[in-house]
Structure 1
Amino acid sequence: MASWLDLAEAQAQLLALAPKMASEQVAVEGALGRVLAGNVNAARTQPPADLSAMDGYAIAGDGPWRIVGESRAGAPFGGALGPGEAVRISTGAHMPAGGESVLIQENAVRNGDRLSADATPEAGRHIRRQGFDYCKGDTLLGEGAVLGPGQIALAIAGGHATVPVAKRPKVAVLDSGDELASDPAHVRDDQIPASNGTMIAAMLTPLVGTVERIGPVADDMGAMANALGRASDCDILITSGGASVGDHDLVQDALREWGCEIAFWKVAIKPGKPLMVATREAEGRHQIVLGLPGNPVSSFVTAYLFALPLMRASMGIEAPLPSPQTRVAGEAFPAGGPRREFVRAISDGEKVVSAASQDSSALGSLAISNCLVEREPNAPEVAIGEPITVYSLQNGGFAGV
């Protein structure tokens, strides 16, 4: 195992090779999930003036007060208040000049144009001061931020119709193997349905928008060369299966013939040991090839730990790795082996138990799992009620949004 990389070292090496995407300007309304390629600074001040935070009356001085007008959202009162005067005001409306506080509707007693209350609210009460949220020129969102609904709303409120974002990498997913059947409804006894490519593409699509599917490709150097030719203009190629060194594992040889250099392979994790990373420089393009194992759960786990972070890093996200969380063991977890292990598991938000089967081909246990339990190399047994580290499978384990 001396030649195998540990997880952190392998992730660091891969992320250092990530292609750096150029930027483009896009409409804010269509920027959900995109990554900012530069800071977004406020083009306006919010609030632009002192505003009422409640429905009621803007007042000046002590009561009783004489009502001299109204200030509505979008239709401010045009004059100024003197001592003993008030205007009817609605939430979000401009405070009139001279207004000292807002007497809320529930505490007000009105009789014609006369207004009274048991007590005068203190100065500044129920007023949102000009610029309390942000002022023109303030940085609203930093480069590398992922645009979720709240970030999009902030950019629009800050006066922006468009924002600079990183272009999404062009990604292709290639699965290979003579045993793979492209039509899951017509599978011979010596075949299995080709599910890995679709699974990996489904994991990546929320990040990159579109994923080209190539395959399944037969274990044949000519077929592999043709398939790789289809990926010539991609930034990142993900392969599934065939990256090991068995008699019928042709991916590494095919990649070398395509012009790739193998950066590393074999990572000390379970499942997912036969992971491979290669680079290709061709026609002015820097390409990354990430070779995932063929066993479906191994393919899923390595895509989670490597492919998703690679996509995030290529678009400029500063912390692209999944975020660990702490849960309580709902059952005893046995001592671990020499490799770092990721156990399919089910968490109720507090306690976590392992899925029934941990075989790397068992998709049933993957489908019911909502997290991965991380077990350190040679980890001691974890008893019921003790803390344990998990990675959520929701949102790819990413806490960026």
Structure 2
Amino acid sequence: MAAATLCIVDALSFLEARRVVLEQVRGSRTVPTVEIIRLEEAAGRVLAEAAMADRDYPPAPRSMRDGFAVRAADLPGTLTIVGEVRAGQAVDCRVEPGEAVEIMTGASVPDGADAVVMIEHTQVAGTRVDVPKALEMGANVNPRGRDALAGSLILDAGCRMGYAEIALLASIGQAEVAVYRRPRVAILATGDELVEVDVVPEPHQIRNSNSWSLAAQVMRAGGEAVVLPVAADELETTKELIAEGLDCDLLLLSGGVSAGKYDLVETALASFGAEIYFDRVRIQPGQPCVFGQAKGTFFFGLPGNPASTMVCFEVFARAALELLGGQTEPLLAITQAQLKAAFRQKPGLTRFLPARLDAAGLVTAVGWSGSGDIAAVTRANAYLVSDPEKEEYAAGEWIGVMAR
């Protein structure tokens, strides 16, 4: 049996491997089908058409504070209160020299006024208000069109919509939204040791958890999970299920990617003319991670240990899924936090280790027994991300952190 075509010989660094994923997927992806959905269904979807402002925002100058609408040229001074404007009320008054209009936050600023003085900076006596200090023109006023001008771009196609984007679309009156179809992601766990979740396993067996963790990660990343039956360690069965998975937009295989006698995934993929871009990455957990393409579909061969599967999806497969779903820029949310306790490692690998980020912004590695320890991952709310060249971190030193 012919081997799959391998483009990369040596194990790649984490950043090199991620760059390969981005370049390959960007270079050959097609524009997904567009769907029209209701705004209330749009959270987490990818916008397919640019959104334009339907009018100026704000449509009229608005007060940013409770206080008095005034003419800056009249200050400091004592002014006559000639009216009141609440948020949502049409303005039916004008500020003339020596006058002021009481105004609430969000209300439209009356004609003639060019500033708003905060109420706590005034003294009111009947119909008179004393303003003891000068004020610049435009103070505490959000001018017409500052946020957006009519017809201007406010959201570009390819952005994934969260609550802020939903609010923005609602504000411009988009009750319906054009979005890209969710990518269908096939999930195929392999191995004789696996049984289904509702089966009582024998001592030599384990329940299949990887398919369901991957399904959750796929849905969280904006994809539609297609969970295939477990593939036993038998070549023809594995090939049949891989063929089914390659009919989806992306295929995720779990297990069978190491160098063991019964690790058959790469052999099975070779029968489909697979091109493999890398088959090992210098990370922990997840070194034996495979990325390639067969029959026009990208695939990832993820290690079988649960933490390895979870990490490899988040740092590699998620980016591919987001690009295939029409997202312009897949993001990898790695930030920095201070270590609560010293941390040591053997250099050479970028490590993504279960960690706990506390309310004070300090991060601590969670004790774990290795990449099969699912319970340790559940005790974590983040991954500690180490520098592969650094051997020792002191308490209080900054280190990479990725949200779980």
Shorter-normalised TM-score: what interval? 0.7 to 0.9
Contact 2:347-2:390 within 8 A present in 1 as well: no
Q: Say whether residues 1:300 and 2:304 are aligned partners.
A: no
> Could you tell me how far 1:358 is from its partner in structure 2?
4.4
> Could you tell me how far 1:12 is from its partner in structure 2?
1.8
- Does the residue aligned with 2:187 lie in a helix, a strand or coil? strand
- Within 5 Å, give how 1:217-232 maps onto structure 2: 217-232=231-246
> Could you tell me how far 1:234 is from its partner in structure 2?
0.9
Q: Deviations over 1:46-75 (max 9, x none)?
A: 1111223344554566654263x5544443
Q: Say whether residues 1:181 and 2:195 are aligned partners.
A: yes
User: 1:242 aligns to what?
Assistant: 256
Contact 2:184-2:223 within 8 A present in 1 as well: no
Q: Say whether residues 1:109 and 2:124 are aligned partners.
A: yes
- Within 5 Å, give how 1:2-401 maps onto structure 2: 3-18=10-25, 19-22=29-32, 24=34, 25-59=36-70, 63-65=78-80, 67=82, 70-78=84-92, 80-102=94-116, 107=122, 109=124, 111=126, 114-117=127-130, 119=132, 122=135, 123-184=137-198, 186-281=200-295, 286-348=296-358, 350-377=361-388, 379-385=389-395, 387-394=397-404
Letter in 1 for 2:292: A
Question: How has the CA–CA distance of structure 1 residues 302 and 76 changed in structure 2, closer, same or farther, with 3 Å as cutoff?
Answer: same
Letter in 2 for 1:127: V
Gaps of 5+ in 1: 395-401
Task: Supply the distance in 2 between the matched residues of 1:346 and 1:252 (Cα, whole angstroms).
Answer: 36
Question: How has the CA–CA distance of structure 1 residues 91 and 175 changed in structure 2, closer, same or farther, with 3 Å as cutoff?
Answer: same
- Does the residue aligned with 2:229 lie in a helix, a strand or coil? strand
Moved more, 123-132 or 202-211: 123-132
Task: Supply the distance in 2 between the matched residues of 1:95 and 1:393 (Cα, whole angstroms).
Answer: 44
Question: How has the CA–CA distance of structure 1 residues 46 and 366 changed in structure 2, closer, same or farther, with 3 Å as cutoff?
Answer: same
> Could you tell me how far 1:301 is from its partner in structure 2?
1.9
Q: Which has the higher contact order (CA 8 A, sep 6+)?
A: 2
Task: Supply the distance in 2 between the matched residues of 1:354 and 1:118 (Cα, whole angstroms).
Answer: 57
User: 1:399 aligns to what?
Assistant: none
- Does the residue aligned with 1:211 lie in a helix, a strand or coil? strand
Q: Deviations over 1:334-393 (max 9, x none)?
A: 34154443333333354433332342222222222233333444x443143263532323
Task: Supply the distance in 2 between the matched residues of 1:105 and 1:329 (Cα, whole angstroms).
Answer: 45
- When normalised by structure 2's length, the TM-score is 0.82
- Does the residue aligned with 2:268 lie in a helix, a strand or coil? helix
- Does the residue aligned with 1:247 lie in a helix, a strand or coil? coil
Task: Supply the distance in 1 between the matched residues of 2:353 and 2:239 (Cα, whole angstroms).
Answer: 36
Task: Supply the distance in 1 between the matched residues of 2:42 and 2:251 (Cα, whole angstroms).
Answer: 24
- Does the residue aligned with 1:49 lie in a helix, a strand or coil? coil
Task: Supply the distance in 1 between the matched residues of 2:13 and 2:64 (Cα, whole angstroms).
Answer: 55
Task: Supply the distance in 2 between the matched residues of 1:74 and 1:390 (Cα, whole angstroms).
Answer: 47
- Does the residue aligned with 1:17 lie in a helix, a strand or coil? helix
Percent identical residues: 30
> Could you tell me how far 1:119 is from its partner in structure 2?
4.3
Moved more, 237-246 or 309-318: 309-318
Task: Supply the distance in 1 between the matched residues of 2:399 and 2:210 (Cα, whole angstroms).
Answer: 27
Task: Supply the distance in 2 between the matched residues of 1:148 and 1:44 (Cα, whole angstroms).
Answer: 23
Task: Supply the distance in 2 between the matched residues of 1:374 and 1:288 (Cα, whole angstroms).
Answer: 26
Contact 1:228-1:258 within 8 A present in 2 as well: no
Question: How has the CA–CA distance of structure 1 residues 46 and 223 changed in structure 2, closer, same or farther, with 3 Å as cutoff?
Answer: same
Task: Supply the distance in 2 between the matched residues of 1:22 and 1:166 (Cα, whole angstroms).
Answer: 6
- When normalised by structure 1's length, the TM-score is 0.83
- Does the residue aligned with 2:294 lie in a helix, a strand or coil? strand
> Could you tell me how far 1:165 is from its partner in structure 2?
3.7
Q: Deviations over 1:73-124 (max 9, x none)?
A: 443233544445555544333233223444655646364xx44435487454
> Could you tell me how far 1:37 is from its partner in structure 2?
4.0
Question: How has the CA–CA distance of structure 1 residues 169 and 82 changed in structure 2, closer, same or farther, with 3 Å as cutoff?
Answer: same
Question: How has the CA–CA distance of structure 1 residues 54 and 2 changed in structure 2, closer, same or farther, with 3 Å as cutoff?
Answer: closer
Q: Deviations over 1:284-333 (max 9, x none)?
A: xx311111011122212211221122222323545435233333344443
> Could you tell me how far 1:171 is from its partner in structure 2?
0.9
Question: How has the CA–CA distance of structure 1 residues 389 and 251 changed in structure 2, closer, same or farther, with 3 Å as cutoff?
Answer: same
Aligned length: 386
